[in-house]
Amino acid sequence: MSPSKRRPRFAWFAKRVSHAAGHPAAFLIAALVIVVWIVTGPIFQYSDTWQLAINTGTTIVTFLMVFLIQNTQNRDSQAMQVKLDELIRAIEGAHNALLNLEDLDDADLDRIRSNYAKLAEQAREGLRAGKFDTGVPIVEGEDPKPRHAKSALKEHR
């Protein structure tokens, strides 16, 4: 069975509605509803009911769209994380400890981010001094020994 056939109905519906809501035609329809509402103002003498109609309608649409768009964004974010995890896993020299970072607590994320911020600052200082900004610098807490079998073989020879 293909992935699209196994996808839950809500996910399929949310994706379709989110895609449609982002289409220029959706904006034009929304703008047309507002124009019709404004034009009908004098007919309804700008009554409280006339105002309540647009307020209720926009509140309901906004409330429902929040959940649909959040569902779509969650799924897209999860797919992006899997793709990034695969790149980290597949690239020699990449830190596999960075896989699945989104599941760490804030303190761990802050510590890792701080380490990479230090590396970035060191690289900028090196560039100002005329050095190259390439290579695989050691991250704080990392074993400076070769990380890969290929690197170990090169050093062994």
- Per-residue pLDDT of 25-49, as tens digits, reads 999 999 999 999 999 999 999 999 9
- Which residue ranges make up each domain of the chain? 3-90, 99-157
Instruction: Outline where 40-148 has alpha helix (H).
Output: 48-90, 106-128
Q: For 14-23, 64-73, 131-140, which range has the lowest pLDDT when averaged over its residues?
A: 131-140
pLDDT band at 135 (very low <50, low <70, confident <90, very high): confident
**Distance between CA 152 and CA 154 in Å, rounded?**
5
Give CA–CA dist 126/124, Å, rounded.
5
Which band of pLDDT confidence, cut at 50, 70 and 90, is reported for residue 94? confident
Q: Is the pLDDT of residue 11 over 90?
A: no
3-state secondary structure 23-71: CHHHHHHHHHHHHHHHHCCCCCCCCHHHHHHHHHHHHHHHHHHHHHHHH
pTM for the complete prediction?
A: 0.62
